[in-house]
Structure 1
């Protein structure tokens, strides 16, 4: 396949690619080979994938092609190549969680989302890079090269779903699966110019990830973690969610989804009259001036083009960042993690080791639970008056890839928790939240707009995101190929 033909396939959306495969215009094997060839050509500069499974992917594609040729019904993702974050278990494909402790771990079962994606015909290309156990909003881990942003390889793509975002942004698969415990889908979506959706808690079941007591580190974040897609369009996000969402008895948090028609929610609709609260900083977050400018311009689209009523308002809680860290620790197998550190600690991420070895107190954990309840209750009361809350997705655009700690915004030192300051509250509350491209800084870096809905109002969040996408389209803009 020549480069032009290859890249034409790689730039198709998941929706377009699935339709063309269904119409026998492109074969599943052609699509798979095109993406694998592009990965070979450009991923050396990005490190989006950490483990590839090309033989398995091609076998999946050939099987799908045979089924299509026999006239069998195939799923809505038939032939669509996808990457799977390295924190999400894949039967028979190495899943390291970015940690030396699991360097050679090969799961004996798929996570539910992988099960469902494969059953719907998706072709799993391999595993996408992530920070160690997801404990960072960047793409660093001790095992693999650091993932870089396709828009500027000197910068981070965000994290912890770093590889999933970089892959989709660079055309290394039209969709990828990520996880989001505090913004780990939405943050990299913002930094890479993508759509990243964290559905309401329980819409997309999570198992065995976060639930499997056999594996310290893998078994944390249970009440915070969400799984979902990173894509280039809202329609693609809806397509994937229609496959992933729905209850499963293995996840005690999963809930019915019959009230949401995912694909219908992404179709054109009128959102005139919706009441939107816009918070530029949640009342406490320092925000990069360029991010503030781009998001403010995007918010005006909701008033001038879409007919919404927009009002500046803050939910009114104090920064829950410290409490969030305590909640993560409280849901972690500290005893098990400390055993792993005793063996692998010299190779593990220093910030993770420090967090696990800290002498946490019961009071810190219970105080954090009270902070969470306060955030949940304040948000519930706040959303009585508004249909949606709009904020920036991140306080900063993509930053240098070597930064892992505090940074400086507008002359002020900002802790790394500020990178997820706009996204982590929705993990505390379980509300649906989507990041969509808002525009670009003057330096050409993507900026994300976060749309948060009322609890369980997933369909409305998608409808509003789709309306904004039509008013301010973004999918035609691509980063250049990395050198």
Structure 2
């Protein structure tokens, strides 16, 4: 093995090191498993480990030693959110309703990871069915933030964000129906990308009517990578993207170039920036980090203008659309049959009396929001906001009771993320600083329809302006 830990390398560097023989795949997997054993007792990022991981790695090593062709992620350990099906490996969706469920098949994205010879290390903890912006559920201990274990790592892809931040793996998959990739990326200080809707096909997730709860969020959900940087996310997406006959919403990917544009090519882009979307409260330290990021961008990009789209708050809209796309009948019946009490946001959705007029009004409002964003993005290439309105907060609550000294509902801290889900636009969170307590702050970059490459390229530019200078402990051995 090389003198440095393979976990010091990002995804792109690590796959090259394995291909060049500087590490064996088995060495890398054993190092990741050792790291998990060392740090995850406090963090609870992983909820299930795959006992076949070493055997997967040995198969890659055997083919490499024989000179056989291997995939683009050969030997790289990857974590998969527990809302994403893994054939033969326990997948609970964070719910007691599926506590012992073992899927018969992989999700499409897992199939593609395996085809690229990535090593599926295990499943990462998540909020129940993704109904929540933090990572708590009643099956596993709550995931904790690697920067401060008294605080939340965000959600619902809580474990995926913590696993990458704590350097257990260089790549983890999350799902994002209202910010669930970008929120933990922001709070954990890693890169998180929600690609354009349809870029990454979903099945069985959101599409299989046999599984109430898992089959929800059909027009909102995206699967995306959490990584250390934008280039690694581009590499992951180059493996994950392309249409599937199992997802009628999936779209071609031939129009995407996964090679990122350089700084000079980005100088002429037009960027709109808004600290509050015209209505939101933002923690002063988060706002200061956002302003600093904008100021640095203005030294590189020709056109950065303070302006926001006329969309207003989308919280109630998201809530109603989630209810519309939830199998309320199936979940109620399943919970009653098993004697399981559901709680939180999910219980509220199941217990409220909804009517067709509410759902119709929500569909019309979504069209208004999408059209307003289309007009706005005709003027700009990118829209920048804070990724979250606050940094991480204590575990045990759904959100801060106050922001900037004013009382707010618990969901107010996530106000910036749903817009990209309602419109299907690509969006990412990229780290741009820290609070005085050393907690990460993320910048959200939203791009034009299908401009995934643009979001990744601008993210790389921001990373150039804010080079990473720290990781949460403990240090790698």
Common fold: TM-score over 0.5? yes
1:47 lines up with 2:47 in the alignment: no
Name the counterpart of 2:387: 393
> How many angstroms apart in 2 are the aligned matches of 1:364 and 1:434?
31
Q: State the distance in 1 between where 2:412 and 2:114 align.
A: 36
The C-alpha deviation readout for 1:370-414, integer Å capped at 9, x for no partner, is 111111011011111111100000011011111125621122222
Q: 1:69-468 to 2 correspondence within 5 Å?
A: 69-262=65-258, 264-265=259-260, 269-304=264-299, 306-344=300-338, 346-404=340-398, 407-468=401-462
Q: Which moved more, 1:150-159 or 1:366-375?
A: 366-375
Residue range with higher mean Cα deviation, 269-278 or 367-376: 269-278
Query: SS where residue 151 of structure 2 aligns?
Result: coil
Shift of 1:204: 0.7
CA contact (8 A) 1:320 1:371 kept: no
Structure 2 residue matching 1:189: 3-state secondary structure: helix
d(CA) in 1 for partners of 2:371 and 2:220?
17
Q: Note if contact 1:100-1:344 (Cα within 8 Å) is conserved in structure 2.
A: no
Deviations 1:154-178 (A, max 9, x none): 1001000000000000011111000
- Post-superposition CA distance 1:350-387 (Å, at most 9, x none): 33222212111111111111111111011011111111
Displacement of 1:307 after TM fit?
A: 2.5
Give the aligned CA root-mean-square deviation in angstroms. 1.5
- Offset of 1:267 from its aligned partner? 5.5
The more displaced of 190-199 and 416-425 is 416-425
* 1:434-457 Cα deviation digits (max 9, x unpaired): 110011111110000011111011
Query: Whole-Å Cα distance in 2 between the matches of residues 168 and 85 of structure 1?
Result: 12
Q: Which runs of 5+ in 2 are unaligned?
A: none
TM-score norm. by structure 2 comes to 0.97
Q: For the residues of structure 2 that align with 1:395 and 1:245, how far apart are their CA atoms?
A: 30
Distance 2:434 2:302 in 1: 23
CA contact (8 A) 1:338 1:357 kept: no
Q: Is the 8 A contact 2:399 2:413 kept in 1?
A: no
Call closer, same or farther: CA 1:405–1:436 in 2, change over 3 Å: closer
Q: How many residues align?
A: 475
Instruction: Write the distance in 1 (CA, Å) between the matches of 2:343 and 2:16.
Output: 43
1:27 to 17, 24, 29: 24
Task: Specify the SS of the correspondent of 2:265.
Answer: coil
Mark the runs of 5 or more structure 1 residues left unpaired by the alignment.
Answer: none
Verify the 8 A CA contact 1:100 1:347 in the aligned structure 2.
no
User: Within 2, Cα distance between the matches of 1:270 and 1:34?
Assistant: 39
SS of aligned partner of 2:441: strand
Write the distance in 1 (CA, Å) between the matches of 2:463 and 2:223: 23
Contact 1:132 1:349 in 2 (8 A): no
The match for 2:55 among 53, 59, 63 is 59
Taking structure 1 as the reference length, the TM-score comes to 0.96
Give distance in 2, aligned partners of 1:172 and 1:268. 31
